[in-house]
Amino acid sequence: MDPLWDQFSALLPRRVVHHPLGCHRPRIPDRVVFDKLVQVLVFSASYTRVADASCSATTIRSRRDEWIAAGVFQALEQACLDAYDRIVGLDLGELAVDGCITKAPCGGEAAGPSPVDRGKQGTKRCVLTDGHGIPLGCVVAGANRQDSPLLRPTLDHLSRFGFYLPDRITVHLDAGYDNTKTRDLLDELGCHGVISTKGTPLQAGRRWLVERTHSWHNRGFKKLAICTERRTRVIDAFIALANAVIITRRLIAVAWTTHRWDTRPTRRP
């Protein structure tokens, strides 16, 4: 986590102390709170469970909200994408989009009755990946939302790359997007669609990459598999942090065979 923390700490806004005497309780170090948030993300533990003598649950929540308001988590995700694109290169010509339904037992802004879990509360993540499965963006909605209406806001994440998009973009979709509305949207955006046909056996194609990314999210970060947060902006922050971890791990794994640096692992990660 050291590379992520170095970039994260550089993005933190400068804190101005307004105490008239300058003698208040020492502030909990940001690194301690950051490590606690990573534990919450990975183990899906409550803030009370990860709190200890070094940091209280209230401090974790307040510092989390402070960083969300400053846009630190989204900036960290964008910095990781820029680093990966600069060193390895993103494949923006072959994209994949797919939705994943997970549990949301506490309900909240991004929860709805799940059609695959007897109507219990659930959340849908619509994820956009490049040709190698690197997450480029995610849209969170209730589990009862259909995939097609979420396609436009998901593809809107491509705007973060500005004018560096290729002339021809192919979007790989499953049979849930096999309708006229989706094809009209792709034509409007100037994209070519490879959509599985309804009523035929499973057609994998290059869509397996986004399925693997779903597995990275759910198996590596239990907070995303069982979402207990009620506010959408908090969920988006945890997803951005999870994406930053995934991108950094992939960057180290790929660059291990092509680059050399002082802290390079002695064996392939």
Q: What is the 3-state secondary structure (H, E, C) of 130-192?
A: CCCCCEEEEEEEECCCCCHHHHHHHHHHHHHHCCCCCCCCEEEECHHHCCHHHHHHHHHHCCE
Which of 50-64, 79-93, 100-114, 252-266 has the weakest average pLDDT?
252-266
* pLDDT of 269 above 70: no
Mean pLDDT, residues 228-256 taken together:
93
Mean pLDDT, residues 56-63 taken together:
93
* pLDDT of 21 above 90: no
pLDDT tens profile 195-218: 888 877 666 678 888 999 999 999
pLDDT at position 117:
87
Per DSSP, 21 falls in state S
Nearest Cα to Cα of residue 59 among 87, 37, 85, 86: 37
What mean pLDDT value characterizes the chain? 89
pTM of the predicted model as reported, rounded to 2 decimal places: 0.92
Q: Which residues contact 164 (CB under 8 A, 6 or more apart)?
A: 92
pLDDT tens profile 97-134: 999 999 999 988 999 999 988 889 999 999 999 999 99
Nearest Cα to Cα of residue 90 among 26, 138, 161: 161
Q: Which residues contact 248 (CB under 8 A, 6 or more apart)?
A: 3, 4, 80
C-alpha span between 241 and 128 (Å, rounded): 16
- C-beta atoms surrounding 1 within 10 Å: 12
Nearest Cα to Cα of residue 3 among 87, 65, 111, 98: 87
| Type of residue at 140 | V
C-alpha span between 142 and 149 (Å, rounded): 12
Superfamily of domain 89-231: Ribonuclease H-like superfamily/Ribonuclease H (3.30.420.10)
Express as a percent the part of the chain with pLDDT over 90. 65
pLDDT tens profile 147-188: 889 999 999 999 888 877 888 899 999 888 888 999 999 999
pLDDT at position 204:
63
Are 100 and 214 in contact by the 8 Å Cβ rule? The answer is yes
pLDDT at position 70:
93
Tell me which residue has tokens 């010509």.
Answer: 93
At residue 247 the predicted structure's pLDDT band, cuts being 50, 70 and 90, is very high
Mean pLDDT, residues 23-37 taken together:
87
Which of 23-37, 49-63, 216-230, 251-265 has the weakest average pLDDT?
251-265
Tell me which residue has tokens 């207990």.
Answer: 228
Beta partners for residue 96, in sequence order: 129, 172
Q: Does 230 or 27 have the greater pLDDT score? A: 230
First to last CA, the chain: 14
